[in-house]
Amino acid sequence: MTLTGRHCSRTSRAAWVIVTHAGGLWASVLASTLPLFADGAIRAAAMHALAGLALSHAIVQLVKRNVERPRPSARTHFDTLVTEPPCFSFPSGHATAAMSVAFMYAAAFPSLAVALMVIAIAVGFSRVRLGVHYPGDVLAGQLIALFSDILLITLW
């Protein structure tokens, strides 16, 4: 039995795993560093995205190591649908990274804002759907990302 549902098809699980990886370390770092090789507005947005990612990640790691909230599977008898990260649950690093990078690009390119926010929200939802985070972990991570990015935009 899984925390997130007894009726999860292989296709559904695979789709959520792909979505969740969009907020992972490699995807977030690549999304904020590869455009640094471009010019103009794309490069400036990438610099903001990388700074936002770094600041929000530092805050997440500080909070994780002080709160030390166990993941949902540690408190229930349910299994996850993906391998759990070795660190604590609160706040969600994937949700933070996805929101941080998406928000910075959305601020730079408003015509892409809705699509970018949908992707970031989907990454957060996937973390709950796959059973590795509580909804509050995701919300906290997304709020950390937004506050970090807004602070950087204000100061930059």
pLDDT greater than 90 at residue 20: no
Most confidently predicted of 37-41, 83-87, 127-131 = 37-41
Residue 3 lies in a domain: no
Tell me how far apart the terminal alpha carbons of the chain are, to the nearest angstrom.
48
What is the domain range of residue 41? 10-155
Q: Which of 113, 109, 125 is nearest to 43 (CA)?
A: 109
- The pLDDT > 70 percentage for the chain reads 86
pLDDT band per the 50, 70, 90 thresholds, residue 13: confident
Q: Given this model, what pLDDT does residue 78 score?
A: 63
The enclosing domain of 75 has a CATH number of 1.20.144.10
Tally of domains within the chain: 1
Q: Convert the pLDDT of each residue in 92-141 to its tens digit.
A: 999 999 999 999 999 999 999 999 999 999 999 998 888 888 899 999 99
* Closest alpha carbon to 75 in 125, 133, 20: 133
Amino acid of residue 70 = P
For residues 16 and 149, give the distance between their C-alpha atoms in angstroms, rounded to a whole number. 26
Domain assignment present for residue 78? The answer is yes
Asked whether residue 4 is domain-assigned, the answer is: no
Q: Which residue has the higher pLDDT, 109 or 68?
A: 109
Query: Taking the model in full, what pTM does it have?
Result: 0.85
Domain contains 118: yes
Residue 1 falls inside a structural domain: no
Whether 3 shows a pLDDT value over 50: the answer reads no
The answer to whether residue 2 is domain-embedded is no
**C-alpha span between 36 and 12 (Å, rounded):** 34
Whether 75 is covered by a domain: the verdict is yes
Residue 149 domain-assigned (yes or no): yes
Backbone φ, ψ for residue 91 (5° rounding): -85, 170
